[in-house]
Amino acid sequence: MYIILILLLIVLVFGPQLWVRRVMRRYSDESDTIPGTGGELAVHLIKRFGLEDINVEKTHENNDQFDPNSRTVRLSPANYDGKSLTAVAIAAHEVGHAIQFDRNELSMRLRTTIFRYAQVFERGGILALFAIPIVTLITHVPHSGLIMFIAGFGSMIVGILCHLANLPVEWDASFGKALPILVEGNYIPEGEDLIIRKILKAAAFTYVAAALADLLNLWRWLIILRR
């Protein structure tokens, strides 16, 4: 029974991550029916929507994102240089975040603020977990270790909740912004709507996969501390 529960947990945690990667890879082949690369589309859309302060750059990491601090849409090499359904869908998705930022939408403002403080809190919590044995040894007060554990545990819970709370922002970037832009602007080949929907859904669910990975990390820490 214990083994079955572990297997179910592994499927629950890693299943969404594997699905996201599979969808992205499946539709990453170059296509002659797509008029431009993901980077070219991003630059074009930024000009089209008058996002004057937004930049586009190719990152060397496999990490596509919109950075509100530097006001930059960053695309991985495959999506920046690629002429594939994945490349144009991800480019439009990240520009969708830039549109949210430019319009000063409440959801985007909340996301930016929450993530700024959550990252600090999460780092502090991880340090607190590492410091539990040291603090307990120095102070000889068992309650001090408990306080550090609560702080570390709380920080990891906050990280999980932040990823889940970010889902509406991601969903809007995919289906409130990117999908209408791609379909109505005829940026994708005719009849590829369903594939684009699948890719955009995978882009939106990236943070769900991250939340589940954080949940596994939390469970791992609980096992370590019980020992």
Each domain of the chain, given as residue ranges in start order, spans 2-104+166-226
Cβ contact 46:98 at 8 Å: yes
Residue range 178-226, pLDDT digits in tens: 999 999 998 998 888 999 999 999 888 877 766 666 666 666 655 655 5
Q: 47 pLDDT band (50/70/90 cuts)?
A: very high
Per-residue pLDDT at 61 exceeds 60: yes
Q: Measure the CA–CA gap between 74 and 66, rounded to whole angstroms.
A: 6
Q: In this predicted structure, what is the pLDDT of residue 75?
A: 97
> Hunting for tokens 């409130």 — which residue is that?
176
Q: CA angle, corner 126, sides to 123 and 132, nearest 5?
A: 140
Phi-psi region of 50 (alpha: psi -120 to 50; beta: other; left: phi over 0): left
Cβ contact 151:122 at 8 Å: no
Those residues whose C-beta lies under 8 Å from the C-beta of residue 28, and which sit 6 or more positions away, are 78, 82, 84, 85, 86, 87
Q: Measure the CA–CA gap between 20 and 210, rounded to whole angstroms.
A: 11
Rounded to the nearest integer, the mean pLDDT of the chain is 81
Residue range 83-137, pLDDT digits in tens: 999 999 999 999 999 999 999 998 888 877 777 666 666 666 666 556 656 656 6
Residue range 2-38, pLDDT digits in tens: 567 666 666 666 677 788 889 999 999 998 889 899 9
Helix (H) or strand (E) holding 57: strand 55-58
- In order of 22, 26, 134, 209, 223, the CA distances from 202 in angstroms are 9, 12, 42, 10, 31
Q: In this predicted structure, what is the pLDDT of residue 54?
A: 95
